[in-house]
Structure formats: C-alpha cells, structure tokens
A = this chain, B = another copy of it.
Amino acid sequence: MAVTSMPVLRRLAVSLLAAALLGGGAVLAADSGPAIEITRNGAHPALPGPAARFTGRATVSELLAAHAPSRISVGSVSFEPGARSAWHTHPAGQILIVTAGLGWVQQEGSSIEKMRPGDVVWIPPGVKHWHGASATNGVTHLAIQEAVDGRNVEWLEAVGDDQYHR
C-alpha cells in the first residue's frame, strides 16, 4: 500500500503544484487585468514575400499581430532595388512609414510618387495601388493596417516592368 500510495501522493503533489502555478498565473492576470506586451526586436523572422504578391526580392517581418478588440497589425517590409508589391487594395486603408531607402508608390490612374525616410503615406480603403523600391535604391517601410472581417488586403495582378518603368 505504501508502495502504491507514494506515487499517488506524488502525482497529487505535482497536480496541486501545477494547479497552484497555473492558478497563480490566472489570479495574477485576473488581479492585474490586461497586461502590456513587449515584442522584442528579432522576435519574428523576416520572411520572403511570396512571388504571387511581389515582383523581385522583398521580405516581410510581422512586428505586431492585432490584439482584439484592436484590429491593427504592424509589419516591416523591405524591398531590394526594383522590387515591388503586386497591385492591391486594403479594406480599411493602410499607413506606410518609410524608415530607410527610396521607395515608389502609385495609385492606379496617377503617377508614381517617391517616398523617403520619415514620409508617411495614407492609402484610403479600396484604393488600388502598389508600393515598393525605386529602380535604383531599396526601401524599408513600416505598414500599419486594420482588418475587416479578418482580412486586411485584397491582392490583384502583378506590376509589370512596363508599368514599373513608365
């Protein structure tokens, strides 16, 4: 009996300890409510932009996923010279903040505009556009967007060389 009871007691003790630890965490959360979260530089790898959505070499780093009830997510996108996104729209718009390099952005039917570090670009909901590097210099920008029904972008056709170099 003593032989079998010890494992039972040990399991009970482990269960109580686990419950206490988990319960302590839950109580802490209940005591303090929502907590500030710091996502450290390097927490998310820079991933290659898929060929269906980018022409040339681009990398996308997620910086912050949306924290409900907020629908805002933030990423950082880097384009090598000549690289650009496909045409696309955002259901709730998008904000770009250029952090390095020299970029281009174009709204359908308008001319290509340059964007430089410190420039902030507001892309209204539903506006068909593309953005990326200039032909000679790469660019990095933050991208801030809100999701609508879980989606924050609608991808369209690629930006051909004729359009990009016009």
Chain A positions 36-51 with a Cβ under 8 Å from a chain B Cβ: 36-42
Give the residues in chain B near A93, CB-CB below 8 Å: 67, 70
The closest CB in chain B to the CB of A70 belongs to B93
Q: How many residues on the A side are at the interface (Cβ–Cβ under 8 A)?
A: 45
Contact indicator per residue, chain A 113-150, by CB within 8 Å of chain B (1) or not (0): 10111111111111101000000000000101010000
Give the residues in chain B near A122, CB-CB below 8 Å: 36-39, 64, 67
* Copies of this chain present: 2
Complex Cα–Cα for A36 and B115 (A)? 12
Query: Residues on A close to B: CB < 8 A?
Result: 32-42, 63-64, 67, 69-70, 72, 74, 92-93, 95, 97, 99, 105, 107, 109-110, 113, 115-127, 129, 142, 144, 146
